[in-house]
A and B are shown apart, each in its own frame.
Chain A
Amino acid sequence: MLVSPYLVHFFLFVAFPVAFSIVLTFHKWNIISPMEYTGLNNYIRLFNDKTFFKSIGNTLIFLVIHIPLQIIVALFLAEILNQKIKLRGAFRGAFFLPVIVSGVVVTILWQQLYGYDTGLLNRLLTGIGIAKVGWLTDPNIAMSSIALMATWKNVGLYIILFLVGLQTVPTQYYEAADLEGATHMQKFFKITLPMINPTIFMVVILSTIGGFSLFIEPYIMTGGGPLNSTVSAVLYIYKQGFFYYHMGYAATLGLFFAFIILAVVVIQKKFIEKDH
């Protein structure tokens, strides 16, 4: 039967892992020695693990900065690109370039741009007489720096999504508004914004799911420092699992974190449905 490959794949790589991860949460295991039943120990440990909750907090900080920034920048640039302009394809291509490149490339590049002494950004700031910023060395700023970089990387994709959304707005609405003498600002807030609401919500959900998997950026850029200020939840799970080989504990963290992700997405969806 045609769907049998799917069923095999599903049981092997989805159903079994989910069931097994629940079993793992009640065990201590480093893969090499036999599994050891430890009851609720992993859960007790989780609720006392300050670094884990900090990593969740860091991930949320990332989302809170990244998502609004991304929507504002993407909407602004999409609105501009939606006008009759020359070289639209070239501009769109430029904004899209960081999207296709690996996050590894972007992170290595921005690590240099963010450098304290010789980084391009600080050289620019000192050039115009502003004090240097500890982009990656100041624990209060480092996560924002990563969120800014992620916005730069992903915004091109959301520009395209918004452009598609903007093209669905009927032009008669704008023509009618022009007759009434509406300003550009009024047209944007009274017509455009309400009409592309569905796109905005889609962007929120997509970038929430993406943001919760934040890993390679802090892994390369800061290793989670300074003072654990950039440890993302996935980075912390990765360290517990593949650095310390605490398989049972890492599975517990993964399960718990997955529930947080689902809860956040469900709450967002509720808001969306309420609005419609």
Chain B
Amino acid sequence: MKKFKSTLFYVSLTVSALIFVYPFYWMIIGSIAPENEIGNLTLMPKSLTLSSYSQMLDKIPIGGAFINSLIVASSITIGVLIFGSMIGYALSKLVFKGRDLIFYIIIFTMTLPFQITLIPQYIIMVKFGWIDTYLALIVPYLINALSIIMFRQYFKSIPDSLIDAARIDGCNELQIIFRILWPNSMPAIITIGIITFMASWNEVLWPLIVIRDESLMTMPQLVTLFAVGGRAESQLGVKLASAVMLALPIVVAYLFFQKYFIQSMASTGIKE
């Protein structure tokens, strides 16, 4: 009886896991199946073809979009790490006038729904002449409240004596941050780096608003417009192929760093 129960347990667990994995498998085989087979595809197409991929590559500059996404997400991540640690350091280890006020402002901006600032931010981009440039995609995201709070929390756990010693050795504030604190804060840097990179890699509403030039589009934006617009000519395989291409980079990264991904994403909720 006990054995039966545990078998049942694993069967139901496996079924649940399949519900989450099988659609991705179907997406992949759908993208390499002939168009007329997708409608009744379940496990394996009768013949394989890459025609969906070659058609998609003819229609949209997906390689360029990959480079754009890489540039945008990397720049944002680097900016968030640098500025986040600078401000987090000031808020946790330095004493200056208005420190608490700035801290409360940061907390306040975290509660501010983006729906308020969406339209005015777009207008700022227009007035700066940043529409259809990387600047519009990157600059507004270079600093974010969550990363500052997380750095502040983490730096608080680093003893002051370490910083005082560095100061006696003649380090200035920036050297303290990047030479002393950074090597001692790898868990925080990895966590903030991963969640920032993921969020900017997957962002799609803002690019849809500020980028109209196809050669500057990020990957999710390009794939979205391809799927919604007429260019996929309602061919399922071509749409699925574009979705596979979009999923691929993040899934590959996930397979290598699964543990870090899960820890990082989970900590965004726990830190609150």
The residues of A with any CB-CB pair to B shorter than 8 Å are: 1-3, 5-7, 9-10, 12-14, 16-18, 20-21, 24, 31, 77, 80, 83, 85-86, 89-105, 108-113, 117-118, 120, 123, 152, 156-157, 160-161, 164, 202-203, 206, 209, 212-213, 215-216, 219-220, 223, 233-234, 237-238, 241-242, 247, 250-251, 254-255, 257-258, 261-262, 265
Chain B residues whose CB sits within 8 angstroms of the CB of A157 once the complex forms: 265-266, 269
Q: List 22 A-B contacts (CB under 8 A).
A: A1-B96, A5-B87, A6-B106, A9-B83, A13-B124, A14-B117, A17-B121, A17-B124, A94-B21, A100-B198, A102-B220, A103-B204, A104-B243, A105-B27, A108-B243, A109-B23, A157-B266, A237-B119, A241-B118, A242-B208, A242-B209, A251-B120
Spot the interface stretch: B53-61, B163-171, B245-253: B245-253
Interface pair B205/A14, CB less than 8 Å apart: no
Give CA–CA (A96, B224) in the complex, Å.
Answer: 23
B50 sits at the interface (CB 8 A): no
Bound complex: CA A257 to CA B265 (Å): 27
Residues of chain A with a CB closer than 8 A to B155's CB = none
The answer for the CA separation of A264 and B205 in the assembled complex, in Å, is: 23
B202→A110 contact, CB < 8 A: no
Kindly list chain A residues whose C-beta atoms are within 8 Å of the C-beta of B173: 2
Of residues 1 to 49 in B, which have CB atoms within 8 Å of A's CB atoms?
9-10, 13, 16-17, 19-21, 23-24, 26-27, 30, 38-40, 42
The 8 Å CB contact of B250, one of A9, A12, A101, A113, is A101
Chain A nearest CB, measured from B6 CB (Å): 9
- What 10 pairs across the A-B complex have the smallest Cβ distances? A118-B39, A17-B120, A17-B117, A2-B90, A94-B17, A258-B113, A108-B243, A20-B120, A160-B266, A258-B116
Which residues of A have CB within 8 Å of B265? 96, 99-100, 157, 160
Contact between B23 and A113, CB atoms less than 8 A apart: yes
* Complex contacts, B251 vs chain A, CB 8 Å: 97, 100-101
Q: Select from chain B the residue with minimum beta-carbon distance to A12.
A: B124
* Pair A10/B246 contact, Cβ less than 8 Å: no
Of all chain A residues, the one with the shortest Cβ separation from B121 is: A17
Cα distance, A120 to B29, chains bound together (Å): 13
A35 to B148: give the CA distance in the assembly, Å.
Answer: 37
Q: Report yes or no: A100 in contact with B102, Cβ–Cβ below 8 A.
A: no
Residues of B within 8 A of A234 (CB): 115, 205
- State whether B148 touches A102 (Cβ < 8 A): no
Most chain A CB within a 10 A radius of its CB, from B120, B142, B236: B120
Q: Which of B117, B204, B258 has the most CB of A within 10 A?
A: B117
Q: What sequence of 0s and 1s flags, for each residue 230-272 of chain B, a beta carbon within 8 Å of any chain A beta carbon?
A: 0000001001101100110011001000100110011001101
Docked complex Cα distance between A101 and B28 (Å): 14
Q: A250 → chain B, closest Cβ, in Å?
A: 5
Contact A97 B204 (CB under 8 A): no
Q: Which of B24, B87, B123, B262 contacts A160 (CB 8 A)?
A: B262
B149 at the interface (CB under 8 A from A): no
Please report the C-alpha to C-alpha distance between residue A216 and residue B122 in the assembled complex, in whole angstroms.
18
| Chain A residues whose C-beta falls within 8 Å of the C-beta of B66 in the assembled complex | none
For the residues of B in contact with A, the DSSP-based class is helix
* Nearest chain B CB to A137 CB, angstrom units: 15
Known A2-B87, A16-B120, A80-B13; judge A97-B261 contact (CB<8 A). Answer: no
Q: Which of A112, A216, A237, A265 has its CB near the most chain B CB atoms (within 10 A)?
A: A112
B126 within 8 Å of A by Cβ? yes
Q: Are B202 and A254 in contact (CB under 8 A)?
A: no
- Pick from B115, B143, B242, B266: contact of A6, CB under 8 Å: B143
Proximity string of chain B (83-123) to chain A, C-beta cutoff 8 Å, 1 when within and 0 when not = 10011011100101000001001100101111111111111
Q: Knowing A21-B120, A95-B17 are in contact, say whether A104-B266 is a contact too (CB < 8 A).
A: no
A233 to B117, CA, bound (A): 15
The number of chain B residues with a CB under 8 A from chain A is 79
B17 & A20 in contact (Cβ 8 Å cutoff) = no
Q: A5-B83, A85-B13 are in contact. Are A94 and B120 (CB under 8 A)?
A: no
> 19 new A-B pairs (CB below 8 Å) besides A111-B239, A164-B266, A241-B122?
A1-B96, A2-B94, A3-B102, A5-B87, A13-B124, A17-B120, A21-B119, A24-B119, A94-B17, A96-B258, A97-B254, A102-B202, A102-B247, A104-B243, A105-B246, A118-B39, A209-B113, A212-B113, A213-B113
Q: Is B154 an interface residue (CB 8 A)?
A: no
Q: Decide: B39 and A117 in contact? CB cutoff 8 A.
A: yes
In the complex, what residues of A have CB within 8 A of residue B63's CB?
Answer: none
Cβ contacts under 8 Å, A261 to chain B: 113, 115
Instruction: Tell me if A109 and B117 are in contact (CB < 8 A).
Output: no
Check A216 against B262 for contact (C-beta < 8 Å): no
Please give me the residue from chain B that is nearest to A89 by CB atom.
B258
Residues of B within 8 A of A233 (CB): 115
Contacting A at CB under 8 A, from B188-247, are: 198, 201-202, 204-205, 208-209, 220, 223-224, 227-228, 236, 239-240, 242-243, 246-247
